[in-house]
Amino acid sequence: MIIGHVPTVHVLLTTRLAVWLRLARREETWKTAEILILRHQLAVLQRAAAAPPELHWADRALLATLLSVIPKARRQGLRLLVTPDTVLRWHRDIVRRRWAARSMRGKTGRPATRRNIRALVLRLARENPSWGYRRIHGELAGLGVRVPASTVWEILKKAGIDPAPRRIGPAWSLFLRSQAEAILACDFFTADLLDGTQAYVLAVIEHASRRIRILGVSLHPTGEWTAQQARNLLMDLGEQPHRVKFMIRDRGSNFTAAIDAVLADAGIRIVLCNVQTPRMNAIIERWIGGCRRELLEPGRMTWTRFSARTGLELGNW
C-alpha cells in the first residue's frame, strides 16, 4: 500500500513546486506558499484518513464563512474535506437551529395575560356573583379591554370561581322561548346598489311568527330617520303594540335615544345585546345572513335603492 502511493506523492510534490515557482515573482509569495502547503497537507490528510474527520461547529462556521468569500466558480477547484452540498446543509442547519432557539419552550403560544386584566376580571366576578364569563367578557369589551372569552374562563377557573354560575332569573334562551309572542328584534344591514354605493336596510322580525318587516332603506340613516321608521312600525302593528313588550337590538350608533323614546311611549322595553355578542340577537342575525347569501350576494343581482326595498319587501318574507 505504501509503495503504491509513492509515485502519487512525488507527482503532487512536483505539481505544488511548479505552481509555487510560477508564482514566486508575484507579491506576497509567502502567502501563496502557505496556501500550497496547506493544500498539500489537506491532500495527505484525505489520503491517510479512511473516513472524513469530524468537524465541530466552530470548524464548520469558519469553513462556511471563508467559502462565502471565494467566487462560486473557484469553489469547484478547491480541495475540501467536504463537498459544497455539505456546506449548504450546514447553512440550513444553522437557520433551523436559529428558529428553534427562538421558539424555545416557554416562549410559544399565546402571551401571558397582564396582571391588571386578571385583577379586573376577578373584581367583576366578585362584585357581580351572578355574572358568567360571557357577561364579564362583554363588559370588558365595553371598557375597551380586548381579551378572549376563553381567557376569562381560565382566569375564573384558576381562581376557584365558577365561570358559569347558576343564575337566579331565567336563562336567556328560556326568556326568548317564554316571551316569543311579545318580542321583536331589529337590526341594520347593508346592500350594494347598482351605482356602487351601500344602502342601509332596517329590518324587524317577530320572534313568534318569524315575520320580517322592512322598515326602510337609506343611504344615510340618521337618528331622526330611524325614529320615524319606529313610528311607522307602530302604525303597521295596529292593535299589536299592546301585545309587544320587548325590542331586542344591538348597541350600534344608528340606534339613538329618539327611537328608544318612541318605543317606550308605546310600552315597549328596549333590551340591549351585550358587546360583540351576536347570539343574543341570533334570529334576526340568521335571517340577515340568509338574505345576504340568497339575495344580496355580489354578482347575483344588481339593485337600485327602490328595487332593493321592493325586492326585500316582496311577500314580507
The pLDDT score that the predictor gives to residue 206 is 92
Q: Phi first, then psi: what are they for 202, rounded to 5°?
A: -105, 120
Give kind and range of the element (H or E) at residue 200. Answer: strand 198-206
The pLDDT score that the predictor gives to residue 49 is 58
- Quote the CA–CA distance of 191 and 217 in Å, as a whole number: 9
The set of cell numbers assigned to 305 is: 335603492
DSSP label at 315? G
Order of all β-strands in the sheet with 246-249:
212-218, 198-206, 183-192, 246-249, 269-272
The helix/strand count (H/E) of the chain reads as 13, 5
Domain 172-316 of CATH type 3.40.1110.10: no
- Residue 131, C-beta contacts closer than 8 angstroms, at least 6 positions apart: 124, 125, 139, 165
The pLDDT score that the predictor gives to residue 205 is 93
CA distances from 46 to 53, 79, 86, 119, 135 (A): 9, 9, 16, 68, 74
pLDDT in tens, the chain (317 residues): 344 444 454 555 555 555 555 555 444 554 565 576 566 557 656 665 556 666 677 777 777 776 676 677 766 766 677 777 887 888 788 778 877 777 665 555 667 788 899 999 999 988 888 788 888 998 898 888 888 888 999 999 888 888 877 656 667 888 888 888 999 999 998 888 777 788 888 999 999 889 998 888 888 888 899 999 999 999 888 766 678 899 999 988 888 889 999 999 988 999 998 887 888 899 999 998 888 887 776 655 555 555 555 555 544 44
CB neighbours of residue 3 within 10 Å: 6
